[in-house]
Amino acid sequence: MSATFVGMPAFPEAARAATGDAQLRHNLRRATHTIRDKRAAVVGELDDWAGLRAAGKAVKDRTLRHLDVYLERFEAAVTAAGGQVHWAADAAEANRVVTDLVLATGERDVVKVKSMATQEIELNQALAEAGITAYETDLAELIVQLSDDLPSHILVPAIHRNRAEIREIFRDRMAAWGAPAPDGLGDDPRALAEAARVHLRERFLRTRVAVSGANFAVADTGTLVVLESEGNGRMCLTLPDTLISVVGIEKLVPTWSDLEVFLQLLPRSSTGERMNPYTSTWTGVTPGDGPQEVHVVLLDNGRTDVLADTVGRQALRCIRCSACLNICPVYERTGGHAYGSVYPGPIGAILTPQLRGTGGAVEAALPFASSLCGACYEVCPVAIDIPEVLVHLREEVAGGAGHRAERAAMGAAGWVLGDRRRLDAAQRAASAARSLAPRHLPGPGAAWTDTRDLPEIPEESFRSWWRRRSGPGEGAR
């Protein structure tokens, strides 16, 4: 995959194009509403959801507050079980580690299980530079890879594509990557899934190296956990000789029994199912069963910066379920690409600027890509207060060089609002000039009047009326 988010415009500009794309809007609306309703139904089945959510939050907080302890414990457990643990401080190091491990096997093809961490570090590009081809095997990732596109959703990276578009991609591109699409392929999802099965079948049976991520890593036991639906995960985790898993350091949970919380929270929040079709767990190497060479690459890549921010830290509780994307009215209208990162939607708006810093235009715009409606916080299974972190990051951005004019305007507004006499004077001035109020405002005000009428300015403010009504002194303190 050569597509990259680098060089994309900042959110407001990217969003302008997206909101004007009727096909995209239709695809997103349909998909997000479908999954929203499914989630609501299965979450509604559990009368203890609030308790599960509180437990999930607390388990993650416990882990994060003592992450060093759990990382060392996890490393020891994996090693004892015959696996090898590698540490990668940043994307470049992680890519180098994985590339070297693949090259050492002598293989030049790898199959991949859908993984956000490897998307984040752009592993496929790094492998390609070393002459290694990475084959995505998740259906949505396959669609994205074949069309040289970018993922636009955490769970369903091709959510922006409809069935007709997917059929075109399969017909045009499958042959270049392996088994071609069958003749006369229709756009029925069943037929498209069957085409993907046939396309990948032989690849699974033949490829000797797999790369995965993990949904959870159990510190006590050294166990990795992958939840999936299609069985491509099982194929990759079972058939090859070598398995390399790239795992963000925040994926840890302390104990095996802690999974009882997350295996209830994640499927219901994510795919809207009581349980996803397949969950695989493995601990190091099992002689005679599955890969006999097992590697785990623990990835920092900015996570410790997030950890250092006591308000922003909660973003590391994220279990990548996508519920916040699916419920978000902004995401529904822009899609994921506008967020300029593999992490779109509300969680992306707080994670990307923290992982990469707020220095760039894309990152600096993300904390403002929200109306702060709070729907994301409401559905988050680990209670990440996304609006709180957004506002916290806005403060960081607003203090920066790009916001001098706004800071001055806010300061002026604060000055007027900071004293009742000044406010009163401003209100009188506005009322006096009310007949002059234009229908269309110039400059930044045009952002309002382009699509909405302005309210009429009243003859007098409330406080003028109150004073008139009460007589001097009355009611004032």
Which of 152, 207, 242, 276 contacts other proteins by CB under 8 A? 276
Q: What share of the chain is helix, strand, coil (3-state, %, to 5)?
A: 55, 10, 35
Please identify which residue in 9, 178, 182, 231 interacts with other proteins, judged by CB under 8 A. 231
Secondary structure element (H or E) that encloses residue 90, with its range: none
What x/- string results for residues 48 through 87 when contact with other proteins is judged by CB under 8 A?
x-xxx-xx--xx-xxx-xxxxxxxx--------x----xx
- Answer yes or no whether residue 140 interacts with other proteins by CB under 8 A: yes
179 counts as binding other proteins under rule CB under 8 A: no
**Which neighbouring-strand residues pair with 456?**
none
- Interface with other proteins (CB under 8 A), residue from 210, 235, 350, 355: 235
Q: Which stretch binds other proteins (CB under 8 A): 122-130, 172-180, 186-194, 341-349?
A: 186-194
Tell me: does residue 307 bind other proteins (CB under 8 A). yes
Of 24-32, 173-181, 209-217, 345-353, the segment contacting other proteins by CB under 8 A is 24-32
Per the CB < 8 A criterion, the answer to whether 171 and 183 are in contact is no
3-state secondary structure 390-441: HHHHHHHHHCCHHHHHHHHHHHHHHHHHCCHHHHHHHHHHHHHCHHHCCCCC
The rounded distance, in Å, linking the Cα atoms of 190 and 62 is 43
Look up residue 225 and give its amino acid. Answer: V
173 binds other proteins (CB under 8 A): no
* Nearer to other proteins (CB atom), residue 129 or residue 460: 460
| Contact string (CB under 8 A) for other proteins, positions 407-446, x = contact | x--xx-xx--xxxx--x--xx--x-------------xx-
Q: How far apart, in whole angstroms, are the C-alpha atoms of residue 353 and residue 398?
A: 13
Q: For other proteins, which is the closer residue by CB, 128 or 231? A: 231
| Interface with other proteins, residue 230, by CB under 8 A | yes
Specify the residue, 66 or 173, whose C-beta has the smaller distance to other proteins. 66
Residue 31 binds other proteins, judged by CB under 8 A:
yes
Residues 314, 266: contact at Cβ < 8 Å?
no
Q: How far lies 16's CA from each of 152, 305, 330, 337, 352, in Å?
A: 16, 31, 12, 12, 20
Q: What are phi and psi of 109, to 5 degrees?
A: -120, 140
The minimum distance between CB 169 and other proteins, in angstroms, equals 11
Residues 190-229 that bind other proteins (CB under 8 A): 190, 192-194, 196-197, 200-201, 204-205, 218, 221, 223, 229
Cα separation of 344 and 338, whole Å?
8
Tokens of 451: 């699509």
* Per CB under 8 A, 349 contacts other proteins: no
Q: For residue 375, how many C-alpha atoms fall within 13 Å in the half-sphere facing its CB?
A: 18
Name the residue nearer to other proteins (CB basis): 131 or 444: 444
Interface stretch with other proteins, choices 22-30, 121-129, 177-185, 342-350 (CB under 8 A): 22-30
